[in-house]
Chains A and B, each alone.
Chain A
Amino acid sequence: MLNYLITGISLGSIYAIIALGYTMVYGIAKMLNFAHGDVIMVGGYMCFCATTYMNWPVPVGILLAMGVCTVLGIVIERLAYKPLRSAPSLAVLITAIGVSYFLQNAALLIWTSNPKSFSPIVGRGAVQLGELQITHVTLVTIGACFVIMVALTLFTSRTKLGTAMRAVSEDKGAAQLMGINVNTTISTAFAIGSALAAVAGVLLCSAYPMLVPTTGSMPGIKAFTAAVFGGIGSIPGAMLGGILLGIIETFCRAYISMELSDGIVFGVLILVLLVKPAGLLGKQTREKV
């Protein structure tokens, strides 16, 4: 029971990290970035290549993954999304789907569809606490998630760039009039989101050591669900949503049915949104008549 809870929190932490990235991007660019999940996959492969082919140490692999994904995020935003900033949101959505196809198929060409088995970033050992057994990977995952959340909260509330980001997400036009460089802020959001995706990718592949070009897409969708669940645009919301989602999913897998777990997770999302249409910690807005 307690073991399942720990597994759930660990899985949830990964969702939370991805959801944090999603929330940053959605809050600012107001777009469903379907390619976000595939950036996770790229991060996973980068770290895999660095540690397996080049035999570099793990921290270097993680940094490489973060670096590559950050650049990738900025490039995607500049090339594919920026020209569409005033276009209808559906056009941006389809472009994001195009980017997602692109990344998946590029990965398919480079790394083929054979699954790569990922060597965990930390030893396979575990800490024993009475009945409870916590693997090192779990500890690192939960710790990383916590550190990232605190850092992001500080960043958005204490730094100048963070304040600018909040301003842009409230009102792009007004922010621009106040002398905020909207393009830089949006790029920053993509950079941070993608770097987080890279971290999530490495952690995801450590916990579930199988890597294929479509690895990122389902966790990406679920993390987005988590972000919506918690209230999109809200950092603590993404964290809460991610962890709750992970716990629900783990318990469903354990006690109800492996096959049905995804269905139940999505069912809970629908229920939450019906009761609280803006998510658990989201702000409700109303159309003025």
Chain B
Amino acid sequence: MALLEVRDLGISFGGLRAVDEVNIQIEKGALVGLIGPNGAGKTTVFNMLTGVYRPTDGAIRLDGENVVGKKPYEINKMGIARTFQNIRLFGRLSVLDNVMLGFHNDVTYSLPTSLSHLGSYRKKEKQMQAKAMEILKVFDLDGQCDYKAANLPYGKQRKLEIARALATEPKLLLLDEPAAGMNPNETAELMQTIEVVRKQFDVTVLLIEHDMKLVSGICEYLYVLNFGRLLAEGTPSAVLSDPEVITAYLGD
């Protein structure tokens, strides 16, 4: 059974059909790309997978469990984590706090403990900090753990978002244009980190990019979206030589 199964997914906003009849299957451990020109509906697909939008039709299953109709925080608990195209960090909290929040449902203690700091408070806080620092090290952010997230440079903010998402220990990680706004060096480095992370944290990755060259480097399988419909799918080399895909990108 595939980890993620998307069947005939579609959504309409008013009269506009933004996404229509999209089918996606992702096996456990895969690194898959979702590509397509601007406005093709890639982020809308992510929003449906994570419960931000409720699809008008179709089914989404994670490990055989239904996802449609669940609230975003419930879907995260089921095992889907994501990053955002326009970075969404907890800007006024520290870098460390941002990642510790990822462990919110993993390392827990009760409200009375929170209010009194008695009982397991210190033990659990230390445990959470240690786990968070471990992830920060992978992204080379441990040196800046007490910075305010909003004060980090842009590239590091993107990394921090991925670190935070990983802290929720997801089965499936959705990355929305992780390399947007980065220079080629940073991009190459990030792609390497994604590879490392995928092995180390045993996580399946679906990522959005519209730079096809970049994606073909690391993705094993690609889905191409155009005007809300799937245009093509397959291995990067097959997809990128597909004349229809080329037209979609370059125009007629």
Contacts and interface: CB of A to CB of B under 8 A. Distances in A.
Interface of A: 289
B52 interface: yes
A289 B43 CA distance: 8
Contacts, number: 4
A289 B18 CA distance: 15
Interface string B44-77: 0001000010000000000000000000000000
A247 B84 CA distance: 48
Contacts of A289: 43, 47, 52, 84
Interface of B: 43, 47, 52, 84
4 contacts: A289-B43, A289-B47, A289-B52, A289-B84
Nearest to B72: A289
A226 to B, nearest CB: 30
Nearest to B43: A289
Contacts of B84: 289
Nearest to B52: A289
A289 B52 CA distance: 8
Contacts of B52: 289
A289 B47 CA distance: 8
Nearest to B50: A289
Nearest to A288: B86
A120 B162 CA distance: 69
A188 B43 CA distance: 42
Contacts of B47: 289
Contacts of B43: 289
A188 B47 CA distance: 42
A289 B174 CA distance: 14
A30 to B, nearest CB: 22
B64 to A, nearest CB: 27
B83 to A, nearest CB: 12
B153 to A, nearest CB: 24
Closest 4 A/B residue pairs (Cβ): A289-B52, A289-B47, A289-B84, A289-B43
A289 B86 CA distance: 8
A134 to B, nearest CB: 45
A180 B89 CA distance: 35
A283 to B, nearest CB: 14
B73 to A, nearest CB: 14
Nearest to B88: A289
Nearest to B82: A289
B149 to A, nearest CB: 19
A289 B42 CA distance: 12
Nearest to B53: A289
A284 to B, nearest CB: 12
